[in-house]
Chain A
Amino acid sequence: MNRHLISAADLSLDDAVAILDTAEELAQVTERPIRKLPTLRGRTVVNLFYEDSTRTRISFEAAAKRLSADVINFSAKGSSVTKGESLKDTALTLQAMGADAVVIRHSASGAAHRLAAWVQGSVVNAGDGTHEHPTQALLDAFTMRRRLGRIDGLRVAIVGDILHSRVARSNVWLLRTLGADVTLVGPPTLLPVAVGSWPCSVSYDFPAVLPGSDVVMMLRVQHERMSDAYFPSVREYSRRYGLDGDRMALLPEHAIVMHPGPMNRGVEIAAGVADSVRSTIVEQVANGVAVRMAVLYLLLGGSGEER
């Protein structure tokens, strides 16, 4: 495995399977009475969050703590960042403090890439702008494998704002590596102009895709898109690309419904769908901790004795 996890596109099939298998083992730890391993004792993991994302930060924090790592949370709000400190200077500061891994969330695409050039520890991309969010794709794959028993050959529809979605990008690359067939669904305005070069299919017709899907992944519609002519109105978007009970009925019996959260209930997903037995939304959150434990474990070289 590489020293960093910046893009799902960088993961080989062996890497990806190793992470999922390790996550499976570590998930069992979380089912024990004492949910903690000594593996990363004495190692320091910094959560460097330039964007508000309580969910992702807590997930990484829980993962690191269950491996006995020391965790430092560095939030852009109320830090020197608001005084204009550059990403590079922050990186050098963390370096000087001896961070073994830096988990970064940033609004700029490529921020994790840049950070990796300035620190010696491992960099884990926890979402960079509209580029990638590889641990989300890994936890999604983990969830699919747990629910459906495999990933190879699965037909996965990813629905919504593909253009601005780091989750969609990471899923396209990872699912391709793992052998799934991905179809991206959304209004043409929310698909990249060069999406034809991606290793997946594209459809503008959501109902037509549903009967042939094993997995439907609904993406959040950001509020700022609603005012910039990407679609005429929220209601029209919801009618054409939202998943309600009627549409869910078009899915095969075994199919699952996923959402990376946070949801806009009543926009891209109806409440009844989100709360249905097909929905994996709560499992995805739980699985996120196991997958992030696996990533930290593998990147930081496993047991502390190896140091």
Chain B
Amino acid sequence: MSGQGSAARPPGGWLIKGASPLGGDPADILIADGMIIDVVSPARPGPVGGRGARTAGGAAAASADDLVVLDASGLIALPGLVDLHAHLREPGREDAETVASGTAAAALGGYTAVHAMANTEPVADTAGVVEQVWRLGRQAGHCDVRPVGAVTAGLAGRQLAELGAMAESAAGVRVFSDDGRCVSDSTIMRRALEYVKAFDGVIAQHAQEPRLTEGAQVNEGEISARLGLAGWPAVAEEAIIARDCLLAAHVGSALHVCHVSTAGSVEIIRWAKSKGWRVTAEVTPHHLMLTEDLVAGYDPVYKVNPPLRTSADVAALRAGLADGTIDCVATDHAPHPVEAKETEWAAAAFGMTGLETALRVVHAAMVETGLLDWAGVADRMSFRPAAIGRLDGAVPAGGLPGGRQPDDARHGCPLSAGSPANLVLYDPAAGGPVDPAAHASRSRNTPFAGMKLPGQVVATFLRGSPTVLDGRLTR
């Protein structure tokens, strides 16, 4: 593929030739004015595109002279990816990441929207901070930033933050989380779940029973026993998830479970969903791919919370993602400066970067194993996370807070005429070792360094403009 145009949206739009939408039959995708105008299958002129769009509107919208043509043969077209869980570190830890560098990493990973977690300094627990983060995202322009608001003031777990003010701010917060810490107090959790019903919010819980995980370093089991590192038992996650599912059912609200890491958690969520309760869940790429055995050398690049678990857990997480029990993949992108990891294990920070490798890891863990097809990947990395983050344009019963109208920042829409032109072109035949030095993230703490992974993001379009072309940032 060659990008002949400048980074700016050309007047006539883009014609992406020969890409395979969701891995299906090749089609030409016509983009103009930030929207998908048409999806045309050259093999079957006329009614086209697997979704029944017609060519007439597209031909009228742009003359061939104005179009920038991209040869995308062999590439898979997916809807722009949506991350429900990233730590962009700004404000406060700009040495690790900024909104600009984190969203650049996101764009290179195929994302058009990321949720920025609230554990910044200061904490994103007021309208002012979430609006600042939101505005920094708009200025950077690599992808849409959806700030996550803290559930409790200062993440302290004692008093609700001003959730309504954040919901009605320009940032339009819908997802609330104390991520990094668990809302462990049952009454606070209940109140939070109840309160956000007023504006169609969702509480994203970091499920970690604090007393069972004091000083915890790695998954509790054979490895922790042998290495002499304090164990993080699966039950500390599962007990909170079970309680929260029951609370969400009791008050009729929406619970989202962050970074599910154990086989038992998958079972509990499957059970809760079977009851028809409003429970959703995410899994990280690293928990789909890596196991606790990597900890044996005490290299803190493998230190993450929740910790890497066993191969049986990995298998259960993959199966749960495949059957939809786990709704989506979320990166938990957690950048840290070098010195936070070049230390003894217990002193090191928890977390791994993930935005630039997520799609490739999912390709390896889910597609190459036959557990998901590309339509499934689109569902778990775009459609469903967008729906959970209230980015899919659906207007809740009773309307949006403040009587606002849905804006153009919709994500997770089908690759068909009338959708915002948020999409990623991915070369499934490419691949190679992960090179952290080439990452746009300010941090280098990827556990996949040197690992050979399939695939390569070739281009990312945000509302019709390329943020990434030829695998490189356009701005």
**A131 near B344: Cβ-Cβ < 8 Å:** no
**B298 near A109: Cβ-Cβ < 8 Å:** yes
- Chain B contacts of A87 at CB under 8 A? 343-344, 347
Is A197 located at the chain interface by the 8 A CB criterion?
yes
B347, closest chain A residue (CB):
A108
Is A192 located at the chain interface by the 8 A CB criterion?
yes
**B346 near A86: Cβ-Cβ < 8 Å:** no
**A192 near B225: Cβ-Cβ < 8 Å:** yes
- Chain B contacts of A132 at CB under 8 A? 228
Is A193 located at the chain interface by the 8 A CB criterion?
yes
Interface membership of chain B positions 228-264, coded 1 if the CB is closer than 8 angstroms to chain A and 0 otherwise: 1111010000000000000000000000000000000
Per the bound structure, the CA–CA distance linking A14 and B221 in Å amounts to: 30
Query: Number of residues in A with C-beta < 8 Å to the partner?
Result: 25
Is A166 located at the chain interface by the 8 A CB criterion?
yes
**B225 near A106: Cβ-Cβ < 8 Å:** no
Known: A193-B233, A197-B225. A108 touches B346 (CB 8 A): yes
Per the bound structure, the CA–CA distance linking A132 and B364 in Å amounts to: 37
**A86 near B222: Cβ-Cβ < 8 Å:** no
Partner of A193, one of B225, B229, B345: B225
Is B65 located at the chain interface by the 8 A CB criterion?
no
Partner of A109, one of B222, B233, B346: B346
Interface membership of chain A positions 121-133, coded 1 if the CB is closer than 8 angstroms to chain B and 0 otherwise: 0000000111110
Interface membership of chain A positions 65-89, coded 1 if the CB is closer than 8 angstroms to chain B and 0 otherwise: 0000000000000000000001110
A131, closest chain B residue (CB):
B228
- Chain B contacts of A169 at CB under 8 A? 226, 228
- Chain B contacts of A128 at CB under 8 A? 228
A220 to chain B, nearest CB (A): 16
- Chain A contacts of B178 at CB under 8 A? none
B259 to chain A, nearest CB (A): 22
**A131 near B227: Cβ-Cβ < 8 Å:** yes
**A193 near B343: Cβ-Cβ < 8 Å:** no
B351 to chain A, nearest CB (A): 18
Is A35 located at the chain interface by the 8 A CB criterion?
no
- Chain A contacts of B226 at CB under 8 A? 9, 169, 194, 198
Is B339 located at the chain interface by the 8 A CB criterion?
yes
Is A111 located at the chain interface by the 8 A CB criterion?
yes
Partner of A114, one of B217, B228, B344: B344
Interface membership of chain B positions 42-83, coded 1 if the CB is closer than 8 angstroms to chain A and 0 otherwise: 000000000000000000000000000000000000000000
Per the bound structure, the CA–CA distance linking A113 and B345 in Å amounts to: 10
- Chain A contacts of B231 at CB under 8 A? 192-193
A168 to chain B, nearest CB (A): 10
A111, closest chain B residue (CB):
B344
A197, closest chain B residue (CB):
B222
Most buried by A among B217, B226, B343: B226
- Chain A contacts of B230 at CB under 8 A? 130
B300 to chain A, nearest CB (A): 9
Is B357 located at the chain interface by the 8 A CB criterion?
no
Most buried by B among A106, A109, A166, A169: A109
Known: A108-B345, A113-B297, A193-B220. A129 touches B339 (CB 8 A): no
Per the bound structure, the CA–CA distance linking A107 and B343 in Å amounts to: 13
**B222 near A194: Cβ-Cβ < 8 Å:** yes
Per the bound structure, the CA–CA distance linking A106 and B344 in Å amounts to: 10
Per the bound structure, the CA–CA distance linking A130 and B221 in Å amounts to: 15
B233, closest chain A residue (CB):
A193
- Chain B contacts of A195 at CB under 8 A? 225
**B343 near A88: Cβ-Cβ < 8 Å:** yes
Is B265 located at the chain interface by the 8 A CB criterion?
no
- Chain A contacts of B298 at CB under 8 A? 109-110, 113-114
Known: A86-B343, A87-B343. A109 touches B229 (CB 8 A): yes
- Chain A contacts of B347 at CB under 8 A? 87, 108
Partner of A108, one of B220, B225, B233, B344: B344
- Chain A contacts of B225 at CB under 8 A? 192-195, 197-198
Partner of B224, one of A86, A106, A108, A194: A194
**A86 near B339: Cβ-Cβ < 8 Å:** yes
B346, closest chain A residue (CB):
A108
Known: A130-B228, A193-B231, A193-B233. A110 touches B344 (CB 8 A): yes
Is B342 located at the chain interface by the 8 A CB criterion?
yes
B230, closest chain A residue (CB):
A130
Partner of B346, one of A88, A113, A129, A194: A129
- Chain B contacts of A166 at CB under 8 A? 228
A118, closest chain B residue (CB):
B342
Per the bound structure, the CA–CA distance linking A197 and B344 in Å amounts to: 26
A197 to chain B, nearest CB (A): 5
- Chain B contacts of A88 at CB under 8 A? 342-343
**A129 near B343: Cβ-Cβ < 8 Å:** no
Per the bound structure, the CA–CA distance linking A197 and B223 in Å amounts to: 10
Per the bound structure, the CA–CA distance linking A169 and B225 in Å amounts to: 9
Per the bound structure, the CA–CA distance linking A88 and B228 in Å amounts to: 21
- Chain B contacts of A107 at CB under 8 A? 346
- Chain A contacts of B228 at CB under 8 A? 109, 128-132, 166, 169
Interface membership of chain B positions 284-302, coded 1 if the CB is closer than 8 angstroms to chain A and 0 otherwise: 0000000000000110000
Within 8 A of A (CB), among B316-369: 339, 342-347
**A194 near B221: Cβ-Cβ < 8 Å:** yes
A176 to chain B, nearest CB (A): 13
Per the bound structure, the CA–CA distance linking A263 and B233 in Å amounts to: 32
Within 8 A of A (CB), among B185-237: 217, 220-222, 224-231, 233
B265 to chain A, nearest CB (A): 18
B341 to chain A, nearest CB (A): 10
B218, closest chain A residue (CB):
A109
A7 to chain B, nearest CB (A): 9
Per the bound structure, the CA–CA distance linking A108 and B118 in Å amounts to: 30
- Chain A contacts of B297 at CB under 8 A? 113
Per the bound structure, the CA–CA distance linking A111 and B227 in Å amounts to: 11
- Chain B contacts of A113 at CB under 8 A? 297-298
- Chain B contacts of A106 at CB under 8 A? 344
B164 to chain A, nearest CB (A): 41
Per the bound structure, the CA–CA distance linking A15 and B353 in Å amounts to: 41
**A193 near B221: Cβ-Cβ < 8 Å:** yes
A91 to chain B, nearest CB (A): 10
**A109 near B345: Cβ-Cβ < 8 Å:** yes
- Chain A contacts of B344 at CB under 8 A? 87, 106, 108, 110-111, 114
Q: Contacts A114-B345, A193-B225 given; 18 further ones with Cβ under 8 A? A: A9-B226, A86-B343, A87-B343, A87-B347, A88-B343, A109-B227, A109-B345, A113-B297, A114-B343, A128-B228, A129-B346, A131-B229, A166-B228, A192-B225, A193-B231, A194-B221, A194-B225, A195-B225
25 residue pairs of the A-B complex, CB under 8 angstroms, read: A87-B343, A87-B347, A88-B343, A108-B347, A109-B228, A109-B298, A110-B298, A110-B344, A110-B345, A111-B344, A113-B298, A114-B343, A129-B346, A130-B228, A130-B230, A192-B225, A193-B221, A193-B231, A194-B220, A194-B222, A194-B224, A194-B226, A195-B225, A197-B222, A198-B226
Give the 7 A-B residue pairs with the shortest CB-CB distance, closest first: A110-B298, A131-B228, A192-B225, A130-B228, A108-B344, A109-B228, A194-B222
